Amino acid sequence: MNHRLDQILYQKEKLLGKRILLFPLYLLSLPYGWAVRARTFLYTLGLLKTKRLSRPVISVGNITVGGTGKTPLVMALSEGLMERGIPTVLLSRGYRGKKGSGPLVTDGQNVLLSPKESGDEPFLMASVLKGVPILIGKDRFKSGTIALQKFPVRGFLLDDGFQHLPLHRDLNIVLIDSQIGFGDGHLLPRGILREPLSHLKRADIFLLTKAEDPEACRSLESTLRVIHPSASIFHSHYEPAGLTRPDGKFESLHLFKGTKVFALSGIANPVYFSSLLRKCGMEVAGEIIFPDHHLYTDQDLTSILLKVKKVNWIVTTEKDMVKLKRLPLDPLPLLSLRIEMKIWEEEEFYKRVMEVFR
């Protein structure tokens, strides 16, 4: 998707002209929906088999495309469980990773694969997390079996796992962007839903992200309670933690308060990213926006340099920095913003999570 189409699809309400424009995509969404429902039904009947690992599996996923905060939650959850005496292994498919590389991204101490080999998000998590082995591979039961042979595993975290039905999970956490919700409720490619909303009944926990004020989420909560009355609902927000240079040097936020910056991102919700920079006290002079999951090129760097005159810094996301670091960045005054996910009801959330380890 290009950025302009992304923005249209994420809108909760669309004018008649946009609905007419999107009608061909609606026709394409019909066979997609039939295929998704048929696949789920076959797993429900047992005609497609689900395998079970010998340790609890916690899935972190979503039902929409775009950034709902899976990576920040997986990182926070792995650290939170370690603090509670539960060492975990992270299983990821490895988005856009290079085929043929080994499954082990990190053994918890050393990063063993490059971003190109592992995929951007597993590499980012491997760079930040310590003591958490990360394995990639389409067959996550196989990855989990390898991990059981190598590490003292108490549990597994399944990254982007809500749709990964071949592996049994003991807890399904579904993230929902509280600002976007489900768009206007249509399936891909007409809307942003990866599955029909009725499939949310597989979830055990709903975590509403970007919830600066949990009270403002009541309408979305009401919708969720109609779909799945027994699921637990929690709220989270992002807390900026600092800035990182391309060489990995970490900088305190207060050093950049009042600084004029450009916001550079290739994510689903660039407006929210800019709001985080303003929350840090920076002056956002402009935005450079690429499509979600954009792979940057030398030509992109040339274009960026032409747009960022008279600013002190360009600030990007950690995910984008992983991709940008593959290029010669010397001319760019580039920083990435590190964010941490904070759960408003943290004690109650972990009490619910820890139930699977009893």
What is the pLDDT at residue 61? 97
Question: Distance (Å, rounded) from C-alpha 132 to C-alpha 148?
Answer: 13
Where would I find the H helices in 293-332?
298-307, 318-324
- Same topology, domains 57-238+342-357 and 240-341? Answer is yes
β-strand partners of 159:
60
Strand 88-92 to 260-265 pairing: unpaired
Q: If 0-12 CB within 10 Å is exposed, 13-18 middle and 19+ buried, where does residue 85 land?
A: exposed
Structure tokens at 156: 């597994």
What lies within 8 Å, CB to CB, of 291 at 6+ separation is 1, 2, 3, 6, 266
The dihedral through the CA atoms of 121, 126, 132, 135 has a sign that is positive
CATH number of the domain at 240-341, please? 3.40.50
What is the pLDDT at residue 59? 98
pLDDT along the chain (358 residues), means of 10: 61 77 94 98 97 98 92 96 97 74 92 91 94 96 97 96 98 96 94 96 98 96 97 97 94 95 92 95 95 90 88 94 91 94 98 96
Distances in Å between the alpha carbon of 183 and those of 61, 86, 180, 275? 17, 36, 6, 20
β-strand partners of 237:
342
Structure tokens at 288: 């450079």
What lies within 8 Å, CB to CB, of 82 at 6+ separation is 88, 131, 132
What is the pLDDT at residue 345? 98
What is the pLDDT at residue 153? 94
Residue type at 275? S
Distances in Å between the alpha carbon of 126 and those of 244, 253, 285? 16, 23, 32
What is the pLDDT at residue 2? 55
Question: Distance (Å, rounded) from C-alpha 102 to C-alpha 114?
Answer: 11
- CATH class of segment(s) 57-238+342-357: alpha beta
Instruction: Measure CA 12 to chain center.
Output: 20
Q: Of 171, 5, 6, which Cα lies nearest the Cα of 81?
A: 171
Q: What is the pTM of this model?
A: 0.93
For residue 112, the tally of other CB atoms under 10 A from its CB is 16
For residue 168, the tally of other CB atoms under 10 A from its CB is 13
Domain ranges of the chain: 57-238+342-357, 240-341
The dihedral through the CA atoms of 37, 230, 69, 275 has a sign that is positive
What is the pLDDT at residue 5? 59
SS (H, E, C) 142-172: HHHHHHHHHCCCCEEEEECCCCCCCECCCEE
What is the pLDDT at residue 8? 67
Q: H or E stretch including 73?
A: helix 70-83
Look at residue 50 and give its three-state secondary structure: coil
Question: Distance (Å, rounded) from C-alpha 214 to C-alpha 201?
Answer: 22
Q: Are 282 and 257 in contact (CB under 8 A)?
A: yes
What is the pLDDT at residue 19? 83
